[in-house]
Structure 1
């Protein structure tokens, strides 16, 4: 797994290892993420996603196997060096705000890391521009929408200039509009900067934009591949409690009604384009 920005090698973690009746939360898990990739880690509640998130930022350490990040083995000695190169955005945006204004909030982590004031001003503005929130510098965070709050949280992570941005169920508490805002922000960031992104999510609409998807089930990696290859196992995914993207479910219903669509469209836009192309050629 050399050359990876983050890797798990045969990692197992059990919350009560002394109790043989307790099954591992994560069992014999191996995967790696390369610089510049967008990888989505998906699974239903209880699949092991939360434990994996804690293992990758050093809140937990495996009983078996190794976690490596930024070329270092995860340990108490390397923990802070590794964390300084990671940006994390969590589930509830309201729990992440500590500043009286948007710019105060984005600056908070920079102050804690001893960034000089002049440099801090530049980073705050640049990161807010990256998420299209520069007009809200002096706004109070509690007046923002859910999607806007999450974009500010992303700006706070970007201001630290991380090598890896981790989104831990970052869209799960947002309404559809807020979810679209955040996903579009990440997509544009990737295109503009080549940022390495790990999305931990149960939302396959979000996962559809990733380069690669890892599917977790009962603490084990069930499958891995491109969105196309993973979504081709439609019935298997639904049996694990995961909903296929809306466009794929709608395509299935259209096929049942006799409409000749391929069923491969992963976004509403792609499905509309396919339908338009079909009917305009008749």
Structure 2
């Protein structure tokens, strides 16, 4: 698979009051390939936010290299490489600059010199992809939280990015808003092969990922599929991470002597096995 992003021995430290330094990211290496959904998780202070800033060039590593689209990320090529990224942050209100939804989605295209006719097409296509075509002339600040994030995603998609980065993009939303945004991204990845990196606490989002990167104290603790990572349940709980509800319930049932075929990441999987293996006989 084509390499989209790679980090090789990346480290970064913050300067604290008094002149001391604190290493926020410590010798981190991993590679993201085209079409993958990668979820980056970890407790507060694990290095996730710093990692996000490094990946989009808001910070540059003290040690190691970051390669975007097979080019080393530098001050010289930052803006060219960043133009091939779509970025959605935690609070959509901080990203809105247009007076209407379509103006807001068009803003980054204007900045990139996209011709007007092409810009109109891209705006309409991007809003259609996130099911927000009926809100073209609405003021963004009058939308619900989930709708705002869908508009923010449309703004990123209008740039036709090779990589979409979601930095805690669902953390401020209610359950319905989170479900809306996660479903939009999942549909886009399935239909277009979009490469996605999500920095998140949301387990529903994590379970959709192809691979999970677990951060702890600035280092990579483990990388693997959701099944591989959550199989290390006790270790994850020890560093302050939660486990999927279905996994916790199946673990408790095992303690009471109930046998299961493998691990269950979702409630649907757990209910199906309980019904077919234990209650339908």
Q: TM-score range by the shorter chain?
A: over 0.9
Contact 1:69 1:82 in 2 (8 A): yes
State the 1:147 CA deviation.
1.1
1:202 aligned onto 2:201: yes
TM-score w.r.t. length of structure 1: 0.94
Q: Which residue of 1 aligns with 2:164?
A: 165
Deviates more, 1:132-141 or 1:6-15: 132-141
State the 1:263 CA deviation.
6.4
State the 1:180 CA deviation.
1.0
Q: Which residue of 2 aligns with 1:52?
A: 51
Unaligned runs of 5+ in 2: none
Residue by residue, what CA displacement relative to the aligned partner does 1:55-75 show, whole Å, maximum 9, x if unpaired?
111111111111110111111
TM-score w.r.t. length of structure 2: 0.94
State the 1:115 CA deviation.
1.0
1:35 aligned onto 2:34: yes
Q: How many residues align?
A: 281
Aligned-CA RMSD value: 2.0
Alignment of 1:1-282 (within 5 A): 3-16=2-15, 21-262=20-261, 264-279=263-278, 281-282=280-281
Partner Cα separation in structure 2 for residue 20 and residue 101 of structure 1? 46
Partner Cα separation in structure 2 for residue 3 and residue 142 of structure 1? 39
Summarize the Cα distance change of 1:66–1:18 in structure 2 as closer, same or farther, 3 Å threshold: farther
State the 1:239 CA deviation.
1.1
| Matched residue SS, 2:81 | helix
Deviates more, 1:15-24 or 1:76-85: 15-24
State the 1:273 CA deviation.
2.4
Summarize the Cα distance change of 1:133–1:259 in structure 2 as closer, same or farther, 3 Å threshold: farther
State the 1:251 CA deviation.
2.4
Contact 1:25 1:218 in 2 (8 A): yes
State the 1:260 CA deviation.
4.0
Residue by residue, what CA displacement relative to the aligned partner does 1:40-98 show, whole Å, maximum 9, x if unpaired?
11111100011111111111111111111011111111101110000000001121111
